[in-house]
Chain A
Amino acid sequence: DAGVIQSPRHEVTEMGQEVTLRCKPISGHNSLFWYRQTMMRGLELLIYFNNNVPIDDSGMPEDRFSAKMPNASFSTLKIQPSEPRDSAVYFCASSIMSYEQYFGPGTRLTVT
């Protein structure tokens, strides 16, 4: 069975550019989570969706960040404009209800 799929795996961009991260959850999972991991702040929840509906986006750092889930098999996290402090590993995870979350491999974002 395919796990959570994220693309790209690595992204290097210049400050000010738009960045779009993509996630395909495990088929049948109805909850999707976006996390950011940095050395300084650890693993932080940015936003999560239940049945494609955003439930809690209080972790989204600022208006430059936005996330969508147009259907049960796809979600995007967009940063516009990107800044060097956005450099981090971004994880997508999915779950059935509130059972264990399964993580994707992550996207390592570097903003120069």
Chain B
Amino acid sequence: AQKITQTQPGMFVQEKEAVTLDCTYDTSDPSYGLFWYKQPSSGEMIFLIYQGSYDQQNATEGRYSLNFQKARKSANLVISASQLGDSAMYFCAMREGRSTENYGQNFVFGPGTRLSVLP
């Protein structure tokens, strides 16, 4: 079964508008972390935002915010005031286990959503 689902292969948004990219996840571990990455056409993977399963508040980083609905197992990325430079692939990823463990753990990535910002 897919652990990370991103149901929108492609999305369009008008410049300066807000857009929500969907991500649902599947885990039975009570401790986990959720991450969003951006991959522009140049190919690099850029970390955007992180949400821990025990975090009480939704994460925010500048124009990025994470709409975390634990009961629904969803972690949607909201980009406010879209810019042309936001056009890219966006990947949702999950790490199972507590972040305080003294070792790294593998991430599972979703298939990605391609966002196109229109002028």
Contacts known (A91-B45, A105-B44, A106-B43); A99 close to B99, Cβ less than 8 A: yes
Could you say which residues of chain A place their CB within 8 Å of the CB of B101?
A: 97-98
Could you say which residues of chain A place their CB within 8 Å of the CB of B47?
A: 100-103
Is B56 at the interface (CB under 8 A from chain A)? no
Q: How many residues of A contact B (CB 8 A)?
A: 26
Could you say which residues of chain B place their CB within 8 Å of the CB of A50?
A: 103-104
Could you say which residues of chain B place their CB within 8 Å of the CB of A100?
A: 35, 47, 50
User: CA separation between A105 and B100, bound complex, in Å?
Assistant: 27
Interface mask (B34-56 → A, CB under 8 Å = 1, otherwise 0): 01010000011111001000000
Binds B, one of A13-21, A41-49, A75-83: A41-49
- On whether the beta carbons of A42 and B111 are closer than 8 Å, the reply is yes
Could you say which residues of chain A place their CB within 8 Å of the CB of B105?
A: 98
Could you say which residues of chain A place their CB within 8 Å of the CB of B97?
A: 98
User: CA separation between A7 and B111, bound complex, in Å?
Assistant: 26
Choose among B37, B50, B106 the residue that contacts A48 (Cβ–Cβ < 8 A): B106
Choose among B99, B107, B109 the residue that contacts A97 (Cβ–Cβ < 8 A): B99
Is A69 at the interface (CB under 8 A from chain B)? no
User: CA separation between A77 and B98, bound complex, in Å?
Assistant: 28
Shortest CB-to-CB span from B23 to chain A, Å, is 14
Contacts known (A42-B112, A98-B33); A103 close to B103, Cβ less than 8 A: no
Shortest CB-to-CB span from B60 to chain A, Å, is 15
Considering only residues 69-119 of chain B, those with a C-beta below 8 Å from chain A are 91, 95, 97-112
Could you say which residues of chain A place their CB within 8 Å of the CB of B102?
A: 97
Could you say which residues of chain A place their CB within 8 Å of the CB of B46?
A: 103
Closest to B49 in A: A100
Could you say which residues of chain B place their CB within 8 Å of the CB of A43?
A: 91, 109, 112
Interface residues of B (CB under 8 A from A): 33, 35, 37, 43-47, 50, 91, 95, 97-112
Interface residues of A (CB under 8 A from B): 30-33, 42-43, 45, 48, 50-51, 55-56, 89, 91, 93, 95, 97-103, 105-106, 108
Q: Top 4 closest A-B pairs, CB basis?
A: A31-B104, A103-B45, A50-B103, A43-B109
